Amino acid sequence: MILVTGGAGFIGANFVLDWLAATGEPVVNLDKLTYAGNLENLQALDGDGRHVFVRDDICARPLVDALLARHRPRAIVHFAAESHVDRSIHGPDEFMRTNVEGTFTLLEAARAYWNGLAGTDRDAFRFLHVSTDEVYGSLGPGDPPFAETNPYQPNSPYSASKAAADHLVRAWHHTYGLPVLTTNCSNNYGPYQFPEKLIPLVIANALAGKPLPIYGDGMNVRDWLYVGDHCAAIRAVLAGGRRGETYNIGGWNEMPNLTIVKTICTLLDEMKPDSGGRYERLITFVADRPGHDRRYAIDARKIERELAWRPAETFETGIRKTVHWYLEHQDWVAHVQSGAYREWVQKNYGGRE
């Protein structure tokens, strides 16, 4: 049994589905079901006794203690986080609460639980914290990719909150001996991603004939990681990662945002032609967001060297699978595009010209 936090969100839900398919080991899934958590992501597990869902808050220490005592997990895999930079700019409070206070609460609960274990159970226990490459800051065009040894230089409330959480995880290992693992991943994409993020937003807007908003000049560069590859990497780190170590997980796919959007448009032209013309006609450049990091890139050689993991998908194969999934799951998209979501899109993009 493992305990997963945030397992109804984009990456967390993909991980739960991947984990059960790959290992069959039961999962207790703790998720508050905020705007990005969606039980429809886990519909395939309805009636599956290996998946125990608990709707609650990672900041609720008595609840976390009770779950650990009842289910006796061998590991905690911590995905739960507020994760969108734009949302952190508009309202940083929840980011500090969930990402910092929530991680602290989980660490303290895990420490108490681990101290009560004995023998092989104590030796085998792991706390795996899922983080982001954004904690490292921004790179120049010629800078080498982020390695695990790069200094932290977060530039947004979101990345600052994740950096704080990373530091807490490190400190609980070095001070208390808690057997932790940390992963820092690049931009994920794939099925079940909430449509405020670039790739699903572009797909949804294009199909609706709406503008495809691109910040600034569209040349901000990210490394893109297919979510299925990320799930496989986390399984590898949990199985063989060294206690206290950090592993960067990347897709080896650096690409500017404008190229991403044009690639999606080309795939939609092929898969779902629009009688109004090519989808690229909808591209609209909008004012850049504050503190927008220019480039991220991940050096994922450590995880390849130590754990023999490397992404199975190229960007070309992964983005084709992703566009196809969204075209085949328009009901899911319609359900998550609630009134609250539409209000958010207007708040974030409505004043940008």
Domain of 115: which CATH number? Answer: 3.40.50.720
- Element holding 159 (H helix, E strand): helix 157-176
Predicted confidence pLDDT, tens digits, the chain (353 residues) = 999 999 999 999 999 999 999 999 999 999 999 877 889 999 999 999 999 999 999 999 999 999 999 999 999 999 999 877 778 888 899 999 999 999 999 999 999 999 999 999 999 999 999 999 999 999 999 999 999 999 999 999 999 999 999 999 999 999 999 999 999 999 999 999 988 889 999 999 999 999 999 999 999 999 999 999 999 999 999 999 999 999 999 999 999 999 999 999 999 999 999 999 999 999 999 988 787 888 999 999 999 999 999 999 999 999 999 999 999 999 999 888 765 545 544 554 454 44
319 is a domain residue: no
Q: Domain for residue 78, yes or no? A: yes
Domain annotation covers residue 286: no
Task: Give the count of domains, the chain.
Answer: 1
8-state DSSP, 248: E
Angle at 255 between CA 252 and CA 259, to 5 degrees: 145
pTM exceeds 0.75: yes
Q: Are strands 254-256 and 221-226 parallel, antiparallel or unpaired?
A: antiparallel
Contacts of 237 (CB under 8 A, 6+ apart): 128, 181, 183, 247, 303, 307
Which residue, chain included where needed, has tokens 């194969």? 317
Distance CA 327, CA 82 (A): 27
- For 135, phi then psi, to 5°, come to -65, -20
What is residue 96's DSSP assignment?
Answer: I
Domain assignment present for 343: no
Range of the domain at 11: 2-189+226-253+295-312
Residue 237 lies inside a defined structural domain of this protein: yes
Pairwise CA distance, residues 186 & 202, whole Å: 19
For residue 216, which amino acid is it?
A: G
Instruction: Classify residue 334: in a domain, yes or no.
Output: no
Burial of 14 (0-12, 13-18, 19+ CB in 10 A): buried
Hey, is 233 helix, strand or coil? helix
Q: Which two tokens stand for residue 40?
A: 């429809």
99 within domain boundaries: yes
Enumerate the active-site residues: 133-134, 158
Cα 195 from Cα 188, distance rounded (Å)? 13
Write out the two tokens for 203.
């797909």
The C-alpha atoms of residue 227 and residue 125 are separated, in whole angstroms, by: 25
* 303, 249 contact by CB (below 8 A): yes
Rounded CA gap, 12 and 79, in Å?
Answer: 6
Give the 3-state secondary structure percentages of the chain, helix then strand then coil, rounded to 5: 50, 15, 35
Query: Helix 227-240 vs helix 10-22: angle between axes, to the nearest 10 degrees?
Result: 60
CA distance linking residue 306 with residue 170, whole number of Å: 20
Asked whether residue 85 is assigned to any structural domain, the reply reads yes
